[in-house]
Structure 1
Amino acid sequence: MTPTTSDPQNHSSIVADGFVVVDKPAGLTSHTVVARIRRLAGTRKVGHAGTLDPMATGVLVVGLNRATRLLGHLQLADKSYDATILLGASTSTDDAEGETVTAASPEALAAVTVERIEAAITGFRGEISQVPSAVSAIKVDGKRAYERVRAGEEVVLKSRSVTISRYDVLDVRRAADGISVDISVDCSSGTYIRALARDLGTELGVGGHLTALRRTRVGAFTTAHTLEELEESFVFLPIADVAADTFPRYDADAEQAAAIRTGRPLPGLKLEAGQTAMFDPTGTFLALYEPHGPLAKPTAVFVS
C-alpha cells in the first residue's frame, strides 16, 4: 500500500475516503486520537479499529468517511504487541496504574527462574480460555466494566476463548521491585495483554501486572505515524489501495459497474470464495461482492 500525503492546512486536498495509521502516544485515549484526526482531516466521519488503553502506545487504524465502513470487513483480527510484565505484585487493574493488591516475598521471587518463566508461558500458547481484565471496555448490564470498577464495584467477567499464536520472552531483568519480563505476542482479536500479565504472575505464584504495552501490528498495518508527524504532513492510505491489497480484485466493465453501484446481483460472474473488491473502468473502488450460487451479490457498496 502506497501512502498519499496531503497538506493538513488545506483540508480540501485530503482524500475523502482513506485510512490513517496512527502511532498512538501514551496518556491519550483512542477517542482523543480520533478527535485529533477528525480536525486534521476536516471531516467528522472518523472511526477506529481496536481500542488502545491510555497507557498503551502503537498502531491505531483510523478510517475516514466511507472507509469507516470498510474497517469491519478488513482482516484486522490478528494483532501483535510488545509488552513488559512485572512479576512480584498484582494490582487492582492488572497494570501499573492500579493499586497493589498482593506482593510476593523475596524468597518467592528468588525461586522464579528464567526456566520457570519459559515453562509457564508455554501453557499460554495456542487457543486458551482467558478472563478479561476487570477494567476492560466490555459492557456489563449496559455499563463499561472499567466504569464499574472505578465506581468501587466488584466486576467478574466471563472467560472467553482467544488464540496466542506467538508468545516470546525477549528479556528478563531482576530489580528491587520484582522481575521485569519483556515479551512479544501475536494474538487474536479480544486478547487482553494485561490478563496475560496477571495470569503469568498467578501461574508462578508471585503475582504480576503490565508496566508497558505497545501494539506493533493490526492485520497488515504496521507502519504508523505520530500525531506530530501528521500535523506536519498528513499521510493516509486511499480506500482503493487498501481494498485492492486486502481482497481479490475484479475490474468491472461499464455495464457491470452501473449494476454494482446500485447493489444489483451479477449473474454468471465466478468470484473466489469470500469477498472480492469490485472496481469500475476508471479504477474507482465500488463495493465488496461474494459468490452466491450462480450469482455474485454485494456484501457492502461504497459508492452511490
Structure 2
Amino acid sequence: MARANGPRPAAGLLLVDKPQGITSHDVVARVRRGFGTRKVGHAGTLDPMATGLLLIGIEGATRLLTFLVGLDKTYTATIRLGVSTDSDDADGTVTATASADGVTDAAISAGIAALTGDILQVPSTVSAIKVDGKRAYDLARAGESVELKSRPVTVSRFDVLDTRRGDGVIDLDVVVDCTSGTYIRALARDLGAALGVGGHLTALRRSAIGPFLVSDAVALTDGIGAAPVLTPARVATDVLGALTVTEQEATDLRHGKKLAGAAERVASLPVAAIAPDGSLIGVLERRGADLKSAMNMPEEQP
C-alpha cells in the first residue's frame, strides 16, 4: 500500500470493537486503509460471528503483539442447550437436537463446574488450528476428517448470568475468564454433551484482553484512521511493567549493549525499558546478572 504524501502514522496499539459478520483480517484491512500503512497486525482473532475487542498494532507497535497474544481473556456468551451444530456455533449446520426440558439448574451447575479450572480441551473442528500445515476449518469444509488433540487451558471463571427456558432449549448467558487459546465454542459443545442434549454458541463477545477493555475500544467506522492509539510505552508498561533507564543506558541498549548488574532492579522479566523522555526503548530479558534488549523499538521518524 502506497502511503500518501504526509507524515508516517504514529506507532501504537488501536483497540477496536469488532462488529459481527466480518473477519479479523477484514478489520486489519480497514485499519491499513484508514492509517495509510501496511504495517498493521492483530493479537488474537475473533470468529466472524463474534464481536468485541481486537488489539491492532500499527507501525513499530506490531513488534509488541507477540507479548499480547498470550494474555488472559474475558468473554460474555450465550450457550444454547438442546441443539448441536457442526461448527459448535450458530454459523454452522444443525447436526442434532434433543429436548433440554429435563435439564435441571443443578445439573447445569455441575456441568459448568467440571469445565472450570485447569482442563483439557479439544478445540472445535472448524478452527484456525493447523493440521499438517493446513487450517482445520479448510480441511473440515473440504469434507476431510479432522482429529484435533486436546490441550491444557485454564477457565478461571465460568458463571451463569441468566437462564431462559422454552421450546425445548435452554439459553444460558455466561461470562468466562480464561487463558489464551481457550475455545468458548468448545465449552458450549462440551457442556451440552455432558448434559446429554448437545449445545452450541449463539453469541460471543470479547470484553477484555489482559488489561485492555472493550469499553475503551473504538468502532470500526470510515474515520478509523483518526482514532487515538495507545503509545508503545504505555502498552509495554501495562503488560510487562517498566524500568526507567538513563540516557546513557538507553543509548547502550539501542547499540545492543547489556545493562551490567541491572537484573536486581526489576521484580520480573521481561520488562519494558523506558527512556527519560517516556519513549519505549525495547523489551529487556535476563543475561545472567545483566539485562539485554530482546526487542528494540525503531526510533520514531518524522
**TM-score relative to the length of structure 1:** 0.91
Greater CA deviation, 92-101 or 19-28? Answer: 92-101
Task: Say if 2:178 is the partner of 1:178.
Answer: no
C-alpha distance in 2 between matches for 1:293 and 1:188: 30
Following superposition, the deviation at residue 11 of structure 1 comes to 8.9
C-alpha distance in 1 between matches for 2:9 and 2:15: 15
C-alpha distance in 2 between matches for 1:12 and 1:40: 14
Match of 2:57 in 1: 63
Match of 2:234 in 1: 241
Secondary structure of the residue aligned to 1:36 is helix
2:250 aligns with one of 248, 257, 269: 257
User: Structure 1's 220 and 75: CA in aligned 2 closer, same or farther, altered over 3 A?
Assistant: farther
| Preserved contact between residue 34 and residue 225 of structure 2 (Cα < 8 Å) | no
| Preserved contact between residue 95 and residue 194 of structure 1 (Cα < 8 Å) | yes
Amino acid at match of 2:43: A
Secondary structure of the residue aligned to 2:218 is coil
- Deviation track 1:154-211 (CA, whole Å, cap 9, x = no partner) reads 2111000100000000111112251111110000011000000000000000010111
Gaps of 5+ in 1: 1-9
Greater CA deviation, 173-182 or 16-25? Answer: 173-182
User: Structure 1's 221 and 76: CA in aligned 2 closer, same or farther, altered over 3 A?
Assistant: farther
What aligned pairs does 1:109-148 form with structure 2 within 5 A after superposition? 109-148=100-139
Secondary structure of the residue aligned to 2:143 is coil
Amino acid at match of 1:96: A
Match of 1:151 in 2: 142
Amino acid at match of 1:87: L
C-alpha distance in 2 between matches for 1:61 and 1:261: 27
C-alpha distance in 2 between matches for 1:72 and 1:78: 14
What aligned pairs does 1:27-106 form with structure 2 within 5 A after superposition? 27-74=21-68, 76-104=70-98, 106=99
**TM-score relative to the length of structure 2:** 0.91
Amino acid at match of 1:298: S
User: Structure 1's 227 and 12: CA in aligned 2 closer, same or farther, altered over 3 A?
Assistant: farther
| Preserved contact between residue 87 and residue 179 of structure 1 (Cα < 8 Å) | yes
- Deviation track 1:115-158 (CA, whole Å, cap 9, x = no partner) reads 21111111011000110000010011111000111111121110
Identity percentage over the alignment? 51
1:278 aligns with one of 253, 256, 273: 273
C-alpha distance in 2 between matches for 1:263 and 1:32: 37
Once superposed, what is the RMSD of the aligned Cα atoms? 1.9
- Deviation track 1:281-301 (CA, whole Å, cap 9, x = no partner) reads 322211111232231111211
Amino acid at match of 2:279: T
Match of 1:6 in 2: none
- Deviation track 1:195-247 (CA, whole Å, cap 9, x = no partner) reads 00000000000010111100001111102111128538412111122223333
Task: Say if 2:285 is the partner of 1:294.
Answer: no
C-alpha distance in 1 between matches for 2:190 and 2:109: 14
Secondary structure of the residue aligned to 1:50 is coil
